Chains A and B, each alone.
Chain A
Amino acid sequence: MLIDSYSYTNRMYNVHPVEKLLFAFLTMILCFKFDAYTNIAVIILMFVVTVFKAKIPAKVYIKLMLIPYSFLIISILTLVINVVEDKSIALVSFNIFGITLGITAKGVSTAIILFFRALAVVSCLYFLALTTPVVDIINVLKKFKFPSLFLELLQLIYRFIFVLIQAADDIYISQDSRLGYATLKNSYRSLGFLISSLFIKSYKDSQDLYVALEARGYNGELKVIGKDYKFCYKNIIFIILIELILISISMLLRR
């Protein structure tokens, strides 16, 4: 879990999570409101902030940016290639089963907008995910009065994900070293065993956890002390300034 470990070790770990959330979400909204130029600016801005301010290695950041590419390219190709009735408006066209498929200029311009917007919003998400630990996000949600049951489930699931991934990893290694994934049939069987024993472990661990909590006076509420953060006015002014600059540049470019 690469992203999670960076969220605790980056240089912006001590910045108030509300500031980081504000920065990410305000920029995301701008990405939706304006067109490709703003989005390219946002992609660069988020890269600079994440790599140079939070000191996330550029290699890691670029690798993450490549994750959504298969979805992005396939979906955009699907959107761009259309049935065209009039061959003259198409930039490229070809025949399949007697239907003319082609790419129109209008299709290309929507595709370009969509491509950069998706990448810009993704980079906002990465900024947030790489600099803000999940625990901090949950604490912010608590301040916004999300239902406590939902937040407790978030906390529990976040913790247990790591317990179960460790267990799944161990099981996988021992199965693999015994040729458990050598053939297709074996793989299915091994994976079936892995999942069912993972399930049994989850069940047993949840029982044990309840016993352990109850022995320590559990009354249906998990209380955890959150980290104490201080608002930094310099950061807030910086965020407002950047957003204003983005808005004004986008407005100018629109004309």
Chain B
Amino acid sequence: MKKWMLLTAFALLLIAPQIAYSMHIMEGFLPLKWCIIWDAASLPFVVVGLITINKKVKENPKLKMLLGFAGAFAFVLSALKIPSVTGSCSHPTGVGLGAILFGPFAMSVLGLIVLLFQALLLAHGGITTLGANTFSMAIVGPIASYYIFKGIKKAGGPNWLAVFLAASIGDLLTYVTTSFQLAIAFPAEVGGFTASFLKFMGIFAVTQVPLAISEGLLTVLVINMLSAYSKEELIELNVLEEEGKVV
């Protein structure tokens, strides 16, 4: 029996690193009912995001171009490979960095667009699961990252810790949400939702915990370099989030 277990664990570790890219729920995986429910759940956040952006763009028309580049930046970020602490490669989600730089409301709209392009241009994620993926990667993740970042800064914590925790916990919450979405759509025969949730959490933890740590480290590096080389831009960027000072 033990041999069997080891073999399965080994096989999982072999396939698992590849799943990091596909944290997006794939096209067609969720039943139609849940696709619509998650579409409906994401819609209000995206509408609020659009209204917020619209207001700010009217005050400062330059912002539209900047947001365009911000979205493209998030897309390219997700296509890069980060060396993971476990030795394999994985892809950053950019959730934390985007939320810190552009704020959670802008991220809900930009995230939706990025996910749409990932489906159409890279074949990651999908159209029917767009709502579910938007909810986990463009709403839950960024909102968590943003408030963790601000909370730690307010409590007087060091900048690097705030950035690290914001990025890594934002990442972790994204995967917890995805596990939740899969579990609630496919509850286990015995044990129902809870059993299914724990199963998915367990499987994704193999890849997502190291990824979250790598992404946290990387985001700290990027924010440090940005504050060293382009302080002015970062300060100007705060037009997006008036009260929050990044640097």
B189 is contacted by which of A75, A82, A156, A165 (Cβ under 8 Å)?
A82
Q: Is the CB of A149 within 8 A of B50?
A: yes
Of B67, B72, B127, B237, most buried by chain A (CB within 10 Å of CB) is: B72
Pair A82/B120 contact, Cβ less than 8 Å: no
Most buried by B among A96, A150, A157, A163: A157
**Interface set, chain B 1-57, CB cutoff 8 A to A:** 1, 4-5, 12, 15-16, 18-19, 22, 24-29, 31-32, 50, 53-54, 57
A226 and B141 alpha carbons, distance in the complex (Å):
36
A106 to B187, CA, bound (A): 13
Interface residues on A, range: 35 or more
A-B contact count (CB 8 A): 234
Contact A206 B120 (CB under 8 A): no
Of the residues B110, B127, B189, contact of A104 by C-beta under 8 Å: B189
Using an 8 Å CB-CB cutoff, how does the interface string of A179-219 with B read, 1 for contact, 0 for none? 00100100111011111101110110111011001000010
Residues of A within 8 A of B24 (CB): 71
B155 within 8 A of A: no
A212-250 contact mask (Cβ, 8 Å, vs B): 1 or 0: 010000101000000000000000000000000000000
Q: A67-B123, A149-B54, A191-B218 are in contact. Are A156 and B64 (CB under 8 A)?
A: yes
Q: Which of B19, B75, B124, B222 contacts A74 (CB 8 A)?
A: B19
Is the pair B65, A32 in contact by a Cβ cutoff of 8 Å? no
Choose, from A8-16, A50-58, A121-129, the stretch at the interface: A121-129
Interface flag for B239 (CB, 8 Å): no
Q: Are B62 and A203 in touch, CB under 8 angstroms?
A: no
Is A134 interfacial (CB-CB < 8 Å)? yes
List 11 A-B pairs, Cβ < 8 Å: A28-B128, A71-B22, A74-B16, A75-B26, A82-B188, A82-B195, A128-B120, A159-B68, A161-B75, A161-B117, A202-B73
- The interface of chain B, by Cβ under 8 A from chain A, is 1, 4-5, 12, 15-16, 18-19, 22, 24-29, 31-32, 50, 53-54, 57, 61-62, 64-73, 75-77, 79-80, 82-83, 97, 101, 109-110, 113-114, 116-117, 119-124, 126-128, 182, 186, 188-191, 195-196, 199-200, 203, 217-218, 221-222, 224-226, 229-230, 233, 237
Show the binding face of A for B, using Cβ within 8 Å.
1, 3-4, 28-29, 31-33, 64, 67-68, 70-75, 78-79, 81-85, 94-96, 104, 106-107, 110, 114, 117-122, 125-126, 128-129, 134, 137, 147, 149-150, 152-154, 156-161, 163-165, 168, 181, 184, 187-189, 191-196, 198-200, 202-203, 205-207, 209-210, 213, 218, 220
